[in-house]
């Protein structure tokens, strides 16, 4: 059998090496993009958890009365907090429930609370309006601040 050059099909070694280089460059680029994307994929979950923690603290605080029901102001333990201003200056290392117990899996979050009179509501006297600020921070440089107002009614 005699083969002519027209019937032979294939690629040379140089063509094969060039195609391998092109494919490897494309693959490394795609893997680099995937690596960058997955490196920050936990950040939205951390921000969402920080928001949920801040909302829970804020709701707990705003549901308390403005005046102290037992007449003793400045209770020491969080489980004894019975009015709004007891929470002023609260600082929790790790998220805690309303009784002061640590919440499992949320130890990397820190919570700071400030409560004070506010003149931000023009129709309400400053002595009758309180602003509550809850700041939740995480060790991954995530800071989430949430504020709410409570008026004497």
Per-residue model confidence as pLDDT tens digits over 3-24:
555 666 777 888 889 999 999 9
114 Cβ neighbours under 8 A, 6+ residues apart: 88, 89, 132, 133
Q: What's the confidence (pLDDT) of residue 2?
A: 59
Q: What's the confidence (pLDDT) of residue 35?
A: 83
Q: What's the confidence (pLDDT) of residue 146?
A: 95
**Does position 43 have pLDDT exceeding 90, yes or no?**
no
Q: What's the confidence (pLDDT) of residue 152?
A: 81
Cα 129 from Cα 126, distance rounded (Å): 5
Q: What's the confidence (pLDDT) of residue 19?
A: 92
Q: What's the confidence (pLDDT) of residue 122?
A: 85
**Does position 1 have pLDDT exceeding 60, yes or no?**
no
Question: Strand order of the sheet with strand 142-151?
Answer: 91-93, 109-117, 129-138, 142-151
Cα 124 from Cα 94, distance rounded (Å): 35
Percent of the chain at pLDDT above 90? 44
């Amino acid at each position: 059998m005699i083969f002519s050059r027209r019937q032979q099909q294939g690629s040379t070694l140089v063509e094969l090496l060039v195609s391998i280089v092109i494919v490897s460059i494309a693959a490394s680029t795609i893997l680099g993009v995937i690596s960058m994307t997955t490196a920050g994929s936990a950040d939205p979950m951390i921000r969402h958890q920080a928001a949920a923690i801040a909302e829970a603290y804020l709701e707990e605080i705003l549901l308390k009365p403005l005046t102290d029901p037992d007449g003793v102001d400045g209770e020491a333990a969080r489980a004894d907090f019975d009015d709004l201003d007891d929470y002023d200056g609260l600082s929790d290392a790790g998220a805690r429930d309303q009784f002061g117990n640590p919440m499992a899996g949320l130890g990397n979050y820190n919570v700071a609370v400030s409560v004070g009179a506010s003149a931000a509501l023009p129709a309400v006297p400053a002595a009758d309006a309180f602003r509550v600020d809850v700041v939740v921070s995480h060790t991954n440089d995530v800071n989430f601040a949430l504020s709410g107002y409570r008026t004497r009614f």
